[in-house]
Amino acid sequence: MPRLLVIKPSSLGDIVHGLQVVSSLKEQIAGLHVTWVVRELFAPLVSACPTVDETLVFRRSDGLRGLWAMRRELRARQFDVVMDLQGLLRSGLMTRWALAPRKLGRSDAREGSRFFYDATAPLPAQDKESHALEILLQFAPLLGARAELGAPLVFRPSGVFAGEAFFASGPAPVVMFPESRRAEKRWPGFAELTGLMLAADPALRIVWSGSERMDDRGVFPAERFLNLTSRTPLSAMPAIITLAGAVVANDSGPMHVAAALGKRTLAIFGPTAPELFGPYPLGCPRHQVVRAPEGDLARLTAAEVLRAWQTPRG
């Protein structure tokens, strides 16, 4: 049984892309066993994906002690191939410590990590202007596989989560994720958009979700709206998105989870380029992107986003 070590400790969107690539590898390489190195913050998502057979938790908050503990974990196992999808010094050191005859890395790796690889995955034809997922797909030919995605990701059930009864009480709601890791990628118009969408479609129901609290001020009818912000642990996110009728999100990890699960996804972009980081595949009719004027989310109106939502898809 071929044993693959994947080193991709963070961040959420990048981990989702890596899971999609490795899922495709598993479909193409019989008996592939996958071990994944991931930060404790994102471990629940990786552990819940059947694509991954073993999860090694890197406790970055422990500093050098956490790094040394990961070294001990890696030295206790034998692998056939290591793929460093992160391409930074820490992940390069982990690649160096892993026991494996083949060690593969990114050709755009930084911080000297390229010194720890036997071979690197070439960049796609568009070079660094390629989508982040297409860059990771270039690892596949190094393992004798095709550089293409397989079926949508699946995740194991997370058990009971907050708001489960609301999802079961009516039509699948639209789930909105108002947050993003970077402040400049957070669109401020979700409350106004929620009001417009509820008014435009009397049958529509909406859920806000995410790890950070967002106040809805109690202005939306309880039978059609649920606020799960600050009550969505990462372990519950796949289940919530799976039950959604569609997802509206900023450029963020949840947006990539929604696209990877095959959901209709409306992505709101400001300063970042959807050509590089948008819901993948970019031309998929399930995926829509709204771009703020000149990359300034403060200039994007809720009415514009509503029009995009109501625009027929191909």
Q: What is the pLDDT of residues 170-182, one digit of tens each?
A: 999 999 999 998 9
Boundaries of domain holding 29:
3-143
| pLDDT of res. 258 | 98
Using the predicted structure, report yes or no on whether residue 295 has a pLDDT greater than 90. yes
Residues, the chain, total?
A: 314
Residues 134 and 190 in one domain: no
Q: What is the pLDDT of residues 89-136, one digit of tens each?
A: 999 999 999 999 999 999 999 999 999 999 999 999 887 789 999 999
The residue written with tokens 């690649």 in the block is 95
* pTM, to two decimals: 0.96
Does residue 134 sit within a domain?
Answer: yes
| pLDDT of res. 314 | 65
Residues 137 and 195 in one domain: no
Counting the structural domains of the chain, the total is 2
- What confidence tier does 275 reach under pLDDT thresholds 50, 70, 90? very high
**Angstrom distances, CA of residue 260 to CA of 41, 133, 154, 209, 225:** 20, 11, 9, 18, 25
Identity of the amino acid at 273: A
Q: Are 25 and 52 in contact (CB under 8 A)?
A: no
Residues 21 and 130 in one domain: yes
Q: What is the pLDDT of residues 30-70, one digit of tens each?
A: 999 999 999 999 999 999 999 999 999 999 999 999 999 99
Bridge partners of 225, per DSSP, are 206
| pLDDT of res. 85 | 98
Residues 175 and 294 in one domain: yes
Does residue 157 sit within a domain?
Answer: no
Residues 112 and 198 in one domain: no
User: How far apart, in whole angstroms, are the C-alpha atoms of residue 95 and residue 301?
Assistant: 46
Does residue 148 sit within a domain?
Answer: no
